[in-house]
Structure 1
Amino acid sequence: MASYELQPFKRFDAIHLVSAIEQQNTIINVGFWVRDPMQLIEWPESTQYKLSRADFLWENSCFEIFIGVKNEDFYREINLSPSETWQSYQFEEYRYPENVPPILATDIELIELKRTHYGLNAVLDLQLFLTTHQLQVSDIYIGLAAIFKTAQGTQYYAIQHSSPEPDFHNKRDWLHEF
């Protein structure tokens, strides 16, 4: 299991975020642990439609996983909401196509998404994605990120930020490899 302390784009000491990822065959388990002692984060309301898909989750507090492929331009973006809704998008290359919302990806399966007292946990199956593109788990790399709507404005967290503006699509910041 690997863990990362996600960094705020701009200095923001009020919230701390740690993420961990583990892999077993084609299954990845990702946990996000949030420390928000002043309770600044504005969490989305839970929905009665658990594990349903919804667009525009990034407009509220949410967690994101990016799946890149070594030596390839295409990638997947997975949005995970504490409301226990989710979405998966496909891109051919950096932010392309430019559809809003992006084009739905159906080759990532969400097995479990659970809001916990510490944050969020998600279990994803990458089997169809890997099989469709004739990949091994060792061919992919992962970016982990979060957007928090707070009383003090929107905060952007990622493993690292190498762009002048918050940009979770920047593959240089996707540092986890299996």
Structure 2
Amino acid sequence: MASYELSAFDRRFQAISVVSAIEQVSPFTLNVGFWIRDPNQWIEWPALIAAHPRQDFLWKNTCFEIFIGVKHEDFYREINLSPSQAWQVYQFEEYRYPEEMPPLAAYDIELNQLKRTHYGLNVSLDLTEFMLKYKLKWSDLFIGLTAVLKTAQGEQFYAMQHSSPSADFHNKRDWLHLF
């Protein structure tokens, strides 16, 4: 298991800390946890929902994201995970393309479990169809972990690193986890 402290794009904003951990389990399962430290309770958490529906535009509220890139390929997946327990997966052929809003949903990654916890969020994803369709091994993948936090002080963007002049979670240079 590897862990990462995500950094806020606005480096002056130090009131909230986000740590993530990622682990490959079984041949095609990916587990990710996000731990939040918010001593002032500034984060605006969406209300819990009963099921785990796929919903678009989750990033307009507090949302955690996983980007899955494939070495030497342009295509990638963006997985949005809401603390409400809603989720969605998007497919891109290359950097932010196609440009439709909402992006094109992908159905080759499935949800095993998504749970809001007292400290953040845990997710288990089934990558079987995605990995078999493209004949991928874990060593072909690289992962970006990010968070959009709606707070009393405005929107805050967290990522493994920020190498663009504006917060840009689609920048593959910032997807640091390798298997």
Flag whether TM exceeds 0.5 (same fold). yes
Q: Which of 22, 33, 36 does residue 34 from structure 1 map onto?
A: 36
Partner of 2:9: 9
SS, match of residue 158 in structure 2: strand
- Matches of 1:169 and 1:76, distance apart in 2: 10
Give the counterpart letter for 1:41 in structure 2.
Answer: I
Partner of 1:122: 123
Q: CA deviation at 1:138?
A: 1.0
SS, match of residue 85 in structure 2: coil
SS, match of residue 173 in structure 2: helix
Partner of 1:174: 175
- Matches of 2:52 and 2:169, distance apart in 1: 23
TM-score by structure 1 length?
Answer: 0.98
SS, match of residue 54 in structure 2: coil
SS, match of residue 155 in structure 1: strand
Q: CA deviation at 1:134?
A: 1.2
Any gaps of 5 or more consecutive residues in structure 1?
A: none
Give the counterpart letter for 1:107 in structure 2.
Answer: D
**C-alpha offsets along residues 90-147 of structure 1, whole Å, 9 cap, x if unaligned?**
0000000001000000000110000000000000011100111111111000000000
1:67 aligns with 2:86: no
TM-score by structure 2 length?
Answer: 0.98
The number of aligned residues is: 177
Partner of 2:58: 57
SS, match of residue 103 in structure 1: coil
- Matches of 1:103 and 1:137, distance apart in 2: 24
SS, match of residue 29 in structure 1: strand
Give the counterpart letter for 2:49 in structure 1.
Answer: T
Give the counterpart letter for 1:166 in structure 2.
Answer: A
Q: CA deviation at 1:176?
A: 0.2
Q: CA deviation at 1:175?
A: 0.4
* C-alpha RMSD over aligned residues: 0.5
Any gaps of 5 or more consecutive residues in structure 2?
A: none
Give the fraction of aligned pairs with identical amino acids, expressed as a percent.
68
